[in-house]
Structure 1
Amino acid sequence: MAQLPDDVHDLFEKATFAHFATMTPMGYPHVTPVWVDYDAETGHLLINTERERRKTKNVETNPKVGVSMVDPDNPYRFLSVFGDVDEVTTDGARDHIDALAKRYMGEDEYPNPIQSERVILKIAPERVYTGP
């Protein structure tokens, strides 16, 4: 598993949106903007979503994904990661979405209704690109 350089960890401390790419069963890319987090202890990127969403279904069929982020303070600074989702878990997913809501929205709790079940997609980076 590739490690993220220390100089990009600050991207996970502010409201940095990511574009998350998965593959549909028909072989087309599915790219959506998402909130993103990083577990420095395990080295995983974390995407919190719902069990019944297309991105979750896609990674259950094909775990290969891409994540691209642009620093909101400097559009020329970026992080791009290719890897595999090696776990889909509900453990801590509700608390995690509340923590992300605090970072991205300034809310103590995630305000949107949950349609199915929150899950965390844990991405093990294989390739990491940064710039400039």
Structure 2
Amino acid sequence: MPRPPLPAPVEEMLAQPNFATISSVRPDGHPVSVPTWYLYENGRILVNMDAGRKRIDYLRNDPRVSLSAMDPGDWITHVSLQGRVVDWVDDEGLVDIDRIARHYTGQPYAVRDRARVSAWIDIDRWHAWGRLKHVR
């Protein structure tokens, strides 16, 4: 799997509001994978979670993560990333989740009564398939 920097076509795809899943590792070693929204900014991935999610505990315990972003119109075209959470930020005022929600829906995030946490992911390796298969 190639290492960053990512080629421009891969960055362009990641900048879109793609379907995505994020995977982490539970303390017992089992993987956990869930759908997620994300933003790709400055070579890193931003994800945001409800502060009560167990995934936060899993990622604080083991910051390794995998994220796969799939083109909504052609799910075979996807980019899979392996990396690690390198920075945690309390999402004061829901600024990050609003940016992410606007990216996907054009609207601010609807749930306003729950604390949220942002995690920045550094990309260690990546893989692309479909129309990006031969991009390096």
CA distance in 1, matches of 2:111, 2:11: 27
Identity of aligned residues (%): 27
Structure 2 Cα separation of the partners of residues 57 and 76 of structure 1: 31
Question: What are the equivalent positions in structure 2 for 1:1-132 lying under 5 Å apart?
Answer: 2-40=4-42, 43-90=43-90, 94-107=94-107, 109-115=108-114, 117-131=115-129, 132=133
- What runs of 5+ residues in structure 1 fail to find an aligned partner? none
CA offsets 1:12-51 (integer angstroms, 9 cap, x no match)? 44321211000011111111100011112xx211111122
Secondary structure (helix, strand or coil) at the match of 1:97 reads helix
Alpha-carbon deviations, 1:98-131, whole Å to 9, x = none? 1221122221x2102443x211111111111112
Q: CA RMSD in A?
A: 1.9
Contact 1:93 1:118 in 2 (8 A): no
* TM-score between the two structures when normalised by the length of structure 1: 0.86
Structure 2 residue runs without a partner (length 5+): none
Letter of the aligned partner of 1:36 in structure 2? Y
